[in-house]
Amino acid sequence: MDLIIKNGREQYINPHKLSKYPKIFIGTYWNRHSFDNFELNEVQYLIKNRDLLVETFKIKSNICSTKIPKYILKQTIIYNHNNILNDYRDHIEYYKTKDRDILSVFSIYVSPDDNIINELYKNNGYRIFEPIYDKNINTYFKLIKK
């Protein structure tokens, strides 16, 4: 990970370099953003959780959404309680596992204690994982079997 000074403030960039799996995270949404409001230990915590994500799901690579078949991509979208499409995700990343399954992961700025949102995600097949984008927000995942 690199430390740069921008506008007089420290920013951490290229966090994938501290991961045990830098090739998996190099092209992700998370790796493209700078951590200018984060302490080093916070970034290290997120990296530890990202490494755990790889190990838990046996991730082989990240994957661009345009390379995912539409029938699988449709399974990752979140519908509200009226079955109306309103994709309630942000900071979305997709990964391919060793078994060729697709893992949809996202983190969104809502209260981690928001039961309505948590129930909506659960009803759409998502589960909570350790934070991988920001330590103060939940990360959700859904594994779509190939």
Q: What is the DSSP secondary-structure string of 37-69?
A: S--HHHHHHHHHHHHHHHHHHTEEEEE-GGGS-
CA dist., res. 59 & res. 141, Å (int): 13
User: What's the pLDDT at 51?
Assistant: 96
Q: Residue 83 corresponds to which tokens in the numbers above?
A: 């079955």
Query: Contact at 8 Å (CB) between 126 and 119?
Result: no
User: What's the pLDDT at 102?
Assistant: 95
Q: Residue 40 corresponds to which tokens in the numbers above?
A: 């080093």
Domain borders along the chain are: 2-144
CB atoms < 10 A from the CB of 114, how many?
Answer: 13
Q: Under DSSP, is residue 144 helix (H, G, I), strand (E, B) or coil? A: strand
User: What's the pLDDT at 44?
Assistant: 85
Global pTM?
0.83
Q: Across the chain, what does the average pLDDT equal?
A: 82
Q: Which residues of the chain have pLDDT under 70?
A: 1-13, 33-38, 80-88, 112
